Amino acid sequence: MLWRPGPPRNARARAAFEADVWNARCHYFLRMPTEREKMIAGELYRASDPELVAANLRAQELLARYNATPPAQSAERDAILRELFGGVGEGTTIKQRFACDYGFNIRVGRNLFVNYDCVFLDVAPITIGDDVQIAPAVQLYTATHPLDHAVRRSGLEAGKPIRIGDNVWIGGGAIVLPGVTVGDDAVIGAGSVVTRDVPAGAVVVGNPARVRDSAK
């Protein structure tokens, strides 16, 4: 069964996101899907597929350039980021060292700030809204693996999307697990492990993260 994503809040990101998913779904039914199409559609896929290996290599080369480019060369850094990501809003700042799998599955809104040493595993779409602040060493994991040991040993894996709304603050060292949606204006405490959706305006802390307050 195909994963059917909900649209991100940002209109421009939503249109691009829905177009990608629609294309992947159409290709899936019209012919044998590629491993990349399976990955984006949320199906089991093989990361060892040559197309995906090449896409990952491309991303790592761009990341090496991005992380080695001095902060003063902001125009060059912005150009690399736009080549790497599927969509980048104005005013985006991402500190070194940043890491991701492919880049093309990441779409971010305006005024995103990502601090040092963050990791976005984007085998499935990662959509981030406007005015989001992400502290150092935050990790967004869309990648997941089969619980069945035989299937897992076969090399198949999968992904579930992460969606982060507008004006969200994610504290240092927090981990957001596959399939999580974080509502607008929410706060995730430092060191939290987020295993389920976070309501809009909520403050969540702990492992697993639980609602402790509202962000006002």
Q: What positions carry a catalytic annotation? A: 145
For residue 7, the SS3 value is: coil
Q: How far apart are CA 67 and CA 65, in angstroms?
A: 6
E-assigned strand segments in 76-207: 87-88, 93-94, 99-100, 106-108, 113-114, 119-121, 126-128, 133-134, 139-141, 143-144, 156-159, 162-164, 169-170, 175-176, 181-182, 187-188, 193-194, 202-205
